[in-house]
Amino acid sequence: MLIDEAYEKFGPELLRHASMLVGSSNAEDVVSEALIGAMRAPGWEAATDQQAYLHRSVINAAKMMMRTKSRSARREWKSAQLAGENSQGLLAQPEVLAAVRALSVQQRSVVYFTYWADHSPQQIATTLGISEGSVKKHLARARANLRKVLDD
């Protein structure tokens, strides 16, 4: 399968998943990185469920992007403090979006597949390559974290 074929076949679902993880402005970059990385990987040809393989690749690309952005944000924060600038405006976000973004990538993925894609725990487990129990654990932790942040 060529990259163009994979994007045409799986692209819309991967974009929705990536949008949930990193926001719509970064979703295309994450999906592109995921597709290129997955199709270059030795396991791609042997993958029995290529869609699940690509979803896992999206998660990994999202994690990598978030780590990069986190390091960059820390550097910017330190620079702003050193320059004496008021950087509080950089952090202002709607509380729900902030609460969801505070979840781990795995928790956000499970929330996405549960509430936006309407997948069963078994489907999510297959897609993410984890057990059904892990899916339920991540969803319970995500709900608890959201409740704690949003109820305060």
Domain interval for residue 130: 93-152
CATH number of the domain within which 118 lies: 1.10.10.10
pLDDT of 150 reads: 81
Alpha-carbon span 119 to 24, nearest angstrom: 21
Q: What is the pLDDT along the chain (152 residues), one digit of tens a residue?
A: 788 888 899 999 999 999 999 999 999 999 999 999 998 998 888 889 999 999 999 999 999 998 888 777 776 666 655 554 443 433 344 777 778 888 999 999 999 899 888 899 999 999 999 999 999 999 999 999 988 888 86
Q: Which of 72, 87, 102 is the last residue of a domain?
A: 87
Q: Which of 87, 104, 129 is the last residue of a domain?
A: 87
| Number of domains present in the structure of the chain | 2
Give the 3-state secondary structure percentages of the chain, helix then strand then coil, rounded to 5.
80, 0, 20
pTM over 0.85: no
**Does residue 70 sit in the same domain as residue 98?**
no
- CB distance 80 to 36 below 8 Å: no
- CB distance 35 to 57 below 8 Å: yes
Q: Is 55 helix (H, G, I), strand (E, B) or coil?
A: helix
**Does residue 77 sit in the same domain as residue 9?**
yes
